Structure 1
Amino acid sequence: MSVLISLLVVLHMICWAVALGTWVAAARTRVPNPGMSHAAAGALVLGLVLMVLVPLTGDANSMKLGIKFLVAAVATAFAYVAAYRREQTPSVIWFGIPTAIIANIVIAVFV
């Protein structure tokens, strides 16, 4: 079971890295790549799977998992709004994407 959880955590982090990387690649032009929203959605789905599996191991912090889920949902929603609005994406949403992604990673590492 720990090998499965470790593999899912690696895939989860790769999805966040792809979402942040595609945002950085599009930051100057502010034309989002559709891969950003798909990577954020993949990270969200993998996070949900991990939320189900981690409590089975007995070492789950429910508050941390809940906060991470909310932040991931915000990042995913912002990414899909940016993909839909394209160049007309408001600055709050555009800069909220990397903020939410980085906040999610910081919560995962330091909390």
Structure 2
Amino acid sequence: MSFLISLFVVLHMICWAVALGTWVAAARTRQPNKGMAHATAGALVFGIVLAALVSIGGDPNHMKLGIKLVVALVAVALAFVAHKKGTETPSPVWFGIPTAIIANIVIAVFV
């Protein structure tokens, strides 16, 4: 079980890194690509699976998991809105994506 949890943690972090990296790559042109939206969705899915595995193995921090879920849903929604709008993405949506990603990582590490 420990290997499985570690594997999903790695996949979860890789998805967040790809999402943030694709945002940084597109930050100057504000032309989001599919990778950003799909990476945030992948991080959400891996996070849900990871939460389920941690719940099976012990007593997780439900408040932390709930907050991370809400922040991840916001990041996914913003990324897909940005993908749909393209270069016409409003600034709050565009800058909300990395804010939500970084907030999710900070919550994971420090809470």
Q: TM-score range by the shorter chain?
A: over 0.9
Match of 1:108 in 2: 108
Unaligned segments of structure 2, at least 5 residues? none
Cα distance in 2, alignment partners of residues 67 and 81 from structure 1 = 21
1:29 partner SS? coil
CA deviation profile, 1:25-74 (whole Å, cap 9, x unmatched) = 00000000110000000000001111111111114100000000000000
Match of 2:61 in 1: 61
Cα distance in 2, alignment partners of residues 14 and 56 from structure 1 = 23
Match of 1:13 in 2: 13
Moved beyond 2 Å, runs of 4+: none
Match of 2:30 in 1: 30
Task: Calculate the aligned-residue CA RMSD, in Å.
Answer: 0.6
Match of 1:40 in 2: 40
Q: Cα offset for 1:87?
A: 0.8
The aligned amino acid for 1:60 is P
Aligned residues: 111
Q: Cα offset for 1:110?
A: 0.1
The sequence identity of aligned pairs, in percent, is 74
Q: Counterparts in 2 of 1:65-104, with a 5 A limit?
A: 65-104=65-104
Cα distance in 2, alignment partners of residues 75 and 22 from structure 1 = 13
2:92 partner SS? helix
Q: Cα offset for 1:23?
A: 0.0
Cα distance in 2, alignment partners of residues 58 and 3 from structure 1 = 15
